[in-house]
Structure 1
Amino acid sequence: MNMNLYGHDGQWLMVDCGVSFNEPLTPDDLRTAEIVCADPRFITEQKERLAGIVITHAHEDHVGALPFLWRRFKCPVYTTAFTAEVLRRKLVQVGLTDQVPIIEVKANETKKIGVFNVKWLELTHSVPEPYAMTIDTPVGKIFHTGDWKIDKKPILGEAFSPAAFKALAKENILAMVCDSTNALKDGFSPSETDCYQGLLATIAAEKNRVVVGCFSSNVARLVALGQIAKETGRYLALIGRSLTNMVSAARVTGHWPEDVPIIDAAHLGYLPREEVLAVATGSQGEPRATLNRLAADNCFDLSLEADDLVIFSAMRIPGNEQAIDRLAEQFKGRKIRTLQAHETDLTIHVSGHPCREELKQLYTWVQPQLAIPVHGEPKHLDANADVAKLSHVPNQLVGRNGDLYQLAPNMSIRRQQVKVGRIALLR
């Protein structure tokens, strides 16, 4: 649930404003809240200094809290077309239709937001239009990666291009604020095309219904499944409001191929078992999502039978393991087969985040003076800092939520300078 603040000359710039799901509000709380976000109190108490909000991409942990919190900020939002479309649909749901000033930007475009000059740099991730950015001030330039990976064969968009990031080496980047999610994993993360091939091989061998659980925002995975449906003589249907909404946003912004058809989920019950390929929400075991309803056999659009297959095409987010295993056991209790990524040699899920060799390459290309690992647990941040050091980045600063990083004129961390926490949001 990212919420980053950059400050200079009495002004602040917010980068991302996301949510998490089914999380406790405090570490020792046994209860969970359905939707949780970072407590924005620090910035709302000085909102007149907030020059703007920048959203890097359309994943819930980067954009999901903004519709709920914007009334506290009341400032312009800057993002690209696909994310803007997703955001506008969310704003309608909370009664903010046409009230939020959203400024759409394009690759390599620069916007002056208060005292900050922000430039958007295109990269690859698991959602359309993911962007890194440089944030330039008179005292230094920051490179904020957002979420990324080096994907040379993405299903959607252009392949990762090193050129723009190699060029940053000439711009004297003061600090690189970098995604740490896979910093404990060696090598490179596989491509979305590798996942397409693994899912194709898995589904082509099946004779009964196949349901795939994945994140609704992974439009590339949905396109791949649409192509697989065509190749295997099946019909693709989406079960879950967030899935249909995301595909609709992709169509509007030109990210959904015209030759990839989708049928209405209500038609699934009329098809022979071998022609059904459904995509469902709930791959993390969320109690109210479609996979849980399918396991309990109370999904209106589809009923599964013995020997049908449910594929979990998503990572097991730390903390969700028990919920996912309970869901899998519920399916198995009805003799419905399940398949998770760790149970097969075929690639049925790939991460959208960089492994150690990718981190090393980007640090080597950009050559920042300072590495600031973010987006991960403490062990991931430490591992990212280790890669930066091995990549000859002169300085590394590893902090925790609430720490204030001073980047210029001197580099330091002031521990626990900002009161932070979590708050629950209501739909």
Structure 2
Amino acid sequence: MTESPSDDLAFLPLGGTGEIGMNFNLYRCRERWLAVDCGIGFAGPALPEAEILVPDPGFIAARREALLGLVITHAHEDHLGAVAHLWPRLRCPVYATPFAAAMLRRKLAEAQLLAEVTLHIVPPGGEIALAPFRLRLIPVAHSIPEAQALAIETPAGLILHTGDWKLDPTPLVGPPTDEAALAALGERGVLAMICDSTNAMVEGHSGSEADVRRNLAALIRDMTGRIAVTCFASNVARVESIALAARAAGRSVALVGRSLRNLDAAARAAGYFATLPPFLPEDAAEEIPDDNLLILVTGSQGEARSALARIAADTHPRIALGESDTVLFSSRVIPGNERAIGLVQDNLVRRGVRVMTEADHMVHVSGHPARDELRRLYRLVRPRYAVPVHGEWRHLTAHAELAREMGARPILIEDGDVLGLAPGEPEVIESAPVGRLAVEGKRLVPLAGAVMAARRQMLREGVVVASIAVDQAGRLRGRAQISAPGLLAPDDQEMATLTDEFVATLADLPPALRQDETGLIDAARAALRRVLGRRLQKRPPVEIHVLRV
């Protein structure tokens, strides 16, 4: 890719534009780069071969000497969850507010990177000077504390990067969105607004967290039996609302699930939950009478290994729910998770548990702006150009139509598009390579690479492994052993037939070929594939193990 002239300004999303999650954005000015957010995504049912995904940082990793820093807008996983995975390739300073820094420290410590990463804590509403960029943080309401929009000043113009936001006059934790600061930007003149599109298809207003708090208190007050509430584990205001409702109803709160325990620790370290007593550990729940217990549990999206999924399947080691108990889903369904959530809810109902959701009770509001809030933002900021991000194409397109109605010129791009914002009229000037990496423990595996391709094939076709013993003269010894997990059971009669045909094929190979290690493996693999295709009409991956005796 051609490097920039000294007076240009460009925006490049490597993740999060044209998709939900994996937000990873870059700005370029005077041949220096600034990164904003670095998040994970979840593979979902469409990609069963993987679970957690991160954007491929290869493009900026190759230019990391020019990377001034990584700024985190807020502590949601889709904005900071990939930092510990990708920082070894970036090796730049990281900037975050106190709460986001508390969440990030735990992740860096788990990855044994805490001592290596230079982590600068910036107060909400603070400033960051990374010439030629100068950033001012603008507090915005969201479903997590200390969410910040970024006013990015450059020699070529002023950019507003909204991050995730909404207009909530009573967000309960943290201040409302600083509309006065946004209006002041509008007075100065905003070249472009890079803006959240998650709810751009939703008319009206996203709703207030205060309304949810009142409704939760009313619902929980009148319930009997055990109550379990699940919500997004990062929603500090919602967790506080649930805890306050429990206290008013005379119930103790037990935390069940690792992500909730991490949130509790980070929130208290940053000064939140100061009025709440310590939550109970899950092993203390058995000691509390049912009518005096509320369980705050992870698993709102039906994650198979989550605490709620195990409770619903009656496989959790400590927590059980049944007749007269209630599970309240204080969350929305993320598209793609409908089936998994439905399975958890079915399992709960089968056990006699009453299930309550946002579909029938006011127990959740979104942390993202609906169309009336977007219109209000455009009236305040009055950007010359609008760049919808943080959404799939239907969200981006709906946002672009709204921006045009509000007098801004919309520019639709997707991951990998290098949008030149100055000099001249904005346009896509180049493209950068993009990709997704699957998180495999401490490894990052290309989703489009050979490992994941083989795994996809195994999911469709199974895998077959054959072991044969051959002496130095090339004679077969003993009987070949074949295993076919995901394809044939060990006691399947077809297995014996496959083995006999495979051995017969090997016996017909020339002795000289059977003495050559590489030649024998290649010939045996081809032979086994032919047998499998003929007998089962399948072409699974095939592995051959040769033991020389």
Q: TM-score band, normalised by the shorter chain?
A: over 0.9
Instruction: Give me the identity figure in percent.
Output: 43
Q: How does 1:10-409 map onto structure 2 within 5 Å?
A: 10-23=31-44, 30-342=47-359, 344=360, 346-393=361-408, 395-409=409-423
Residue by residue over 1:207-252, the C-alpha shift from the partner in whole angstroms, topping out at 9 and shown as x without a partner, is 1111111111111111001100111111111101111111111111
Aligned equivalents of 1:301 and 1:22: distance in 2?
A: 29
Asked whether 1:418 is paired with 2:439, we answer no
Once residues 291 and 264 of structure 1 are traced to their aligned partners in structure 2, the CA distance between those partners, rounded to angstroms, is 15
- Opposite residue 21 of structure 1, the aligned amino acid is F
Whether the 8 Å CA contact 1:110–1:118 is kept in 2: the answer is: yes
Q: Which has the larger radius of gyration?
A: 2
In 2, the alpha carbon distance for the partners of 1:411 and 1:210 equals: 57
Is the CA contact 1:20–1:61 (under 8 Å) kept in the aligned structure 2? yes
Stretches of structure 2 lacking an aligned partner (at least 5 in a row): 1-21, 442-549
Runs of 5+ unmatched residues, structure 1: none
Contact 2:139–2:176, Cα closer than 8 Å, also in 1: no
Distance in 1 separating the partners of 2:430 and 2:44: 22
- What are the Cα deviations for residues 256-280 of structure 1, in whole angstroms up to 9, with x where unaligned? 1324442222121122211111111
CA–CA separation in structure 1 for the residues paired with 2:44 and 2:91: 27
Over residues 355-396 of structure 1, what are the superposed CA-to-partner deviations in whole Å (9 max), with x where a residue is unaligned?
001000011101111111110111111111122122222x11
How far the C-alpha of 1:417 sits from its partner, in A, is 0.8
Instruction: Give the conservation status (yes or no) of the 8 Å contact 1:23–1:36.
Output: no
For the Cα contact (< 8 Å) 1:151–1:191, is it kept in 2? yes
Secondary structure at the aligned position of 1:33 is classed as coil
- Relative to structure 1, the CA distance from residue 278 to residue 92 in structure 2 (aligned partners, 3 Å threshold; closer, same or farther) is same
- SS state at 2:38 partner: coil
| Alignment check: 8 A CA contact 1:197 1:347 kept | no
Residues 38 and 415 (structure 1), Cα distance of their counterparts in 2 relative to 1, 3 Å cut:
farther
| TM-score between the two structures when normalised by the length of structure 1 | 0.95
Q: Given that residues 138 and 178 in structure 2 are in contact (C-alpha distance below 8 angstroms), is that contact kept between their aligned partners in structure 1?
A: no
SS in 1 for 2:431: coil
SS of the equivalent of 2:158 reads strand
* Root-mean-square deviation over aligned CA pairs: 1.5
TM-score by length of 2: 0.74
Q: Matched residue of 1:70: which SS?
A: helix
Q: Could you say what secondary structure the match of 2:232 adopts?
A: coil
Q: 1:138 Cα deviation (Å)?
A: 0.5
> Which fold has the larger relative contact order, with Cα–Cα distance below 8 Å and residues 6 or more apart in sequence?
1
1:9 corresponds in structure 2 to 30
The more displaced of 410-419 and 220-229 is: 410-419
Segments ≥4 residues shifted beyond 6 Å? none
The 2-side partners of 1:328 and 1:79 are apart by 37
